[in-house]
Amino acid sequence: MKAVSKITKKEINKVKGVLFDLDDTFTVHGKIIPEAFSALWNLHEMGLVLVPITGRPAGWCDHIARMWPVDGVVGENGALCYYYCNRRGRLMRHYAFEPETAKEKRALLETIKREVLKRVPRAKIAADQHFRLFDLAIDFAEDVPALTHEEVQQICSVFHKHLANYKVSSIHVNGWFGDYNKLSMTRYFLKAIIGLEWKEVQNAFIFIGDSPNDEPMFEAFPISVGVANIKRFLPMMKTHPAYITKAEGGLGFAEMAHMILH
């Protein structure tokens, strides 16, 4: 990985949009800091396409799409996207598959939940689980004392045993049944809603993230950026971002935004 300052002026001048993770990429210790949110507004006023790409639940995405200066949001690790359509004056939603279908998988996720809590007693169900449509989120570092690497791997092994897809973020292990991820829904959103071809997107968008569940995005975008706190996850990851910021979390996001703005 190169320092983010090594991104060339030629690359920056091509940028038409910024895709970014939320937890520990846009936030610091669970809070949205002024530097990051001001940077987001400045990028919005510059006319860039802005899309959070997160593992957070559908309920959060509803709020973000309505209230933030963004063009839409991809949530639940690619299960859905929400965007506010000004032409129609209402919030629009797209799902990887119908929520009714997800109910059929809920019993399997309940089985996984019971097994995880039995095998890893210090783990908890994520506090935002009530707002999720498609996945199961196991908290290992948000509202519980941070679990060890070995405990996180035990959680992953339960999802693997039941043939569920799973991804590790900076705070949760998210598991689901369905053929989707952050990248697949991002590609759908940018083509179907924004109207951009994939090659155009790859050459003109930056992705910023911080953890293993961002790997599909790091692999897809030549200008991929990890905020500094990604360093603790690098041994777990096969694909690393091309660049890394000096600062962590939301300050790293603001650092990257400053390069684009100036």
pLDDT digit string, tens, across residues 188-203: 999 999 999 999 999 8
Q: Are residues 24 and 153 in the same domain?
A: no
Position 127 confidence tier, pLDDT thresholds 50, 70, 90: very high
Both 83 and 206 in one domain: the answer is yes
| Mean pLDDT (whole number) for 20-48 | 98
Q: Are residues 48 and 158 in the same domain?
A: no
Q: Is the pLDDT of residue 185 over 70?
A: yes
- What CATH number does residue 148 fall under? 3.90.1070.10
| Residue 249, domain member (yes or no) | yes
Question: CA angle 46-50-53, nearest 5°?
Answer: 160
Both 23 and 48 in one domain: the answer is yes
Q: Mean pLDDT throughout 154-173?
A: 97
Overall domain count for the chain: 2
Co-location of 24 and 90 in the same domain = yes
pLDDT of residue 87: 57
Residue 110 lies in a domain: yes
Condensed to tens digits (0 to 9), the pLDDT of residues 97-113 reads 877 777 778 889 999 99
Residues 197 and 253 in one domain: yes
In a domain, 8, yes or no: no
Q: Which domain holds residue 154?
A: 99-176
Asked if residue 204 and residue 237 are part of one domain, the reply reads yes
Give the mean pLDDT of 197-216. 95
Asked whether residue 24 falls in the same domain as residue 62, the answer is: yes
Query: Does some domain include residue 248?
Result: yes
Residues 90 and 23 in one domain: yes
pLDDT at position 4 is 95
For the chain, percent of residues with pLDDT exceeding 90: 91
pLDDT of residue 97: 83
Kindly report, residue by residue over 245-258, the tens digit of the pLDDT. 999 999 999 999 99
Write the pLDDT tens digit of every residue in 217-256: 999 999 999 999 999 999 999 999 999 999 999 999 999 9
* 149, part of any domain: yes
Domain CATH number, residue 203: 3.40.50.1000
- Per-residue pLDDT at 89 exceeds 60: yes
Q: What tokens were used for 244?
A: 């890394």
Percent share of the chain, pLDDT over 70? 98
Mean pLDDT in the chain?
A: 95
Claim to verify: residue 226 and residue 240 sit in the same structural domain? yes
Q: How far is 100 from 182, CA to CA, in rounded Å? A: 21
Cβ neighbours of residue 50 closer than 8 Å, sequence gap 6 or more: 17, 18, 20, 40, 43, 44, 69, 70, 71
Q: Where is the domain boundary, 176, 209, 242? A: 176
Tokens 């200008």, residue located: 223
Q: Are residues 161 and 211 in the same domain?
A: no
The answer to the question of residue 4 being in a domain is: no
Last-in-domain residue among 144, 176, 208:
176
Please name the amino acid found at residue 128: D
